[in-house]
Amino acid sequence: MAMDHLTGPGPRPPRALLDPAAGVREIKLRPHQMAEPVTPAADLFVLAHFGVPRIDAARWSLIINGLVGRAVSLDYDDLLRRPATTVEAVHQCCGSPIEPTVPTRRVANVCWRGVDLAALLDELGVDRRARFLWAYGLDGGAFGGVSCDWFVKDLPLERLAAGDVLLAYELNGAPLPPEHGFPVRLVVPGFYGTNSVKWLWRLHLAADRAESPFTTTFYNDRAVPEAIAAGQPARRPVWAIAPEAVTVSPAPNGEVSVGVPCAIWGWAWSCRGVSGVEVSVDAGASFARAVLEPRREWAWQRFSLTWWPSTRGAVQIQARAFDADGTSQPADGARNAVHSVLVTVT
């Protein structure tokens, strides 16, 4: 149903009750605890800048407006009635926007189910001037010394063409828990978690990026001077996930036995998928190619390598992932810096 008021900035929904009414950062698993291929919802990290809105699905609706042929307001049942898509995808928090070069290894792999956004927008019609999708959450407040009415993110519409951007209402086969975005969140597989706006209330198509703290202030990486000299932009939005690997086993500070084969294994992922993983058992001095499982949809990929420890003492194990285009991970100074695990050979 098209509505006149949807062509403007849109009605302001009442501010949702936030419970808790303060930022949430629950990191439940360290890499050595990420044994499950699909992370149980109860083990999934929770990141919320302002708190957790408590929303009644019966009173919720989503506005889609801006550079669309037909602006609409959809309620929860409208979305449930549409064809559903299920997508398995790695889900990663890029870390603190205040410390963008600190690795945090907040990562999981989950199944989302919801409405395919590209198909929905096709039905509404997309104006050819539209280049960005702005997504609004029902939470807002002060963060990092600035304040905003709503948590707003934007992403290039080009990403929708690659498929599987969802208006998700299920996580691992059950309705989204409140802390993960109930009733409906955006899910952008292959992009860092910050782009997957929870507690959605508005999508707006525009020719330009959205001006807001979480689009053009925070979550923009600074290029190094050499990259700028080579023509790269000085600031780059934190969108596509860079290649990364974590070692699940052996666990840090564990003991392995000399002469006994040890299975080194873990997960590797990147926006475009991982083409290879290399493992080092000498603190990065040399690397050997690991066995890598193929990718399912947007999921992380298992790597493994059998190692025969031959001398006693401390060993630093590292794993590095290679992107489809051959780029790998920096040794340090980046959110996707190589993960190291220290073990003792006894």
Ligand X SMILES: Nc1nc2c(c(=O)[nH]1)N[C@H]1C(S)=C(S)[C@@H](COP(=O)(O)O)O[C@H]1N2
Q: Does 47 bind Mo ion (CB under 5 A)?
A: yes
Q: How far apart are the first and last CA of the chain?
A: 70
Q: Which two structure tokens, joined as six digits, stand for 111? A: 């199944």
CA distances (Å), origin 159, targets 17, 93, 98, 204: 32, 19, 26, 15
The owner of tokens 């000498």 is 282
Q: Does 132 bind ligand X (CB under 6 A)?
A: no
Interface with ligand X in residues 17-46 (CB under 6 A): 44-46
Q: Does 194 bind Mo ion (CB under 5 A)?
A: yes
Which residue number, 60 or 199, has a Cβ lying nearer to ligand X?
199
Q: Which does 148 bind (CB under 5 to 8 A by kind): ligand X, Mo ion, none?
A: none
Q: Which does 45 bind (CB under 5 to 8 A by kind): Mo ion, ligand X, none?
A: ligand X
> Side chain identity at 51, as an amino acid letter?
G
DSSP string, 34-94: ---SS--GGGS-EEESS--EE--GGG-EEEEEESBSS-EEEEHHHHHHS--EEEEEEEE--
Which residue number, 49 or 202, has a Cβ lying nearer to ligand X?
49
HSE-CB for 22 with a 13 A CA cutoff: 1
Count other Cβ atoms within 10 Å, centred on residue 114: 24
Considering only 16, 18, 29, 49, the residue that binds ligand X (CB under 6 A) is: 49
HSE-CB for 193 with a 13 A CA cutoff: 24
Cβ atoms of 324 and 270 within 8 Å: the answer is yes
Q: Does 198 bind ligand X (CB under 6 A)?
A: yes
Considering only 31, 66, 114, 137, the residue that binds ligand X (CB under 6 A) is: 137
Which residue number, 193 or 250, has a Cβ lying nearer to Mo ion?
193
Considering only 64, 93, 157, 241, the residue that binds ligand X (CB under 6 A) is: 93
Stretch that binds Mo ion, among 7-15, 44-52, 180-188, 249-257 (CB under 5 A): 44-52
Considering only 60, 134, 199, 267, the residue that binds ligand X (CB under 6 A) is: 199
Considering only 52, 71, 90, 93, the residue that binds Mo ion (CB under 5 A) is: 93
Which residue is at the shortest CB distance from ligand X? Answer: 137
Which residue is at the shortest CB distance from Mo ion? Answer: 93
Q: Does 195 bind Mo ion (CB under 5 A)?
A: no
Which residue number, 47 or 74, has a Cβ lying nearer to Mo ion?
47
Considering only 88, 116, 139, 164, the residue that binds ligand X (CB under 6 A) is: 139
Sorted by sequence, the CB contacts under 8 Å of residue 225 that are 6+ apart come out as: none
* Rounded CA separation 153/212 (Å): 8
CA distances (Å), origin 273, targets 230, 238, 269: 26, 17, 6
Interface with Mo ion in residues 213-242 (CB under 5 A): none
Q: Least distance in Å: CB of 138 to ligand X?
A: 7
* Rounded CA separation 219/97 (Å): 5
- Binding letters toward ligand X, positions 53-92, x by CB under 6 A: ----------------------------------------
Q: Which does 198 bind (CB under 5 to 8 A by kind): Mo ion, ligand X, none?
A: ligand X
Closest CA to 117 of 91, 81, 79: 79
Q: Least distance in Å: CB of 122 to ligand X?
A: 25
Count other Cβ atoms within 10 Å, centred on residue 286: 10
Q: Least distance in Å: CB of 124 to Mo ion?
A: 29
* Rounded CA separation 181/179 (Å): 6
CA distances (Å), origin 334, targets 45, 194, 317, 330, 337: 21, 17, 19, 7, 5
Which residue number, 194 or 270, has a Cβ lying nearer to ligand X?
194
Binding site residues, ligand X, CB under 6 A: 44-49, 93, 137, 139, 151, 180, 193-194, 196-199
Binding site residues, Mo ion, CB under 5 A: 47, 93, 193-194
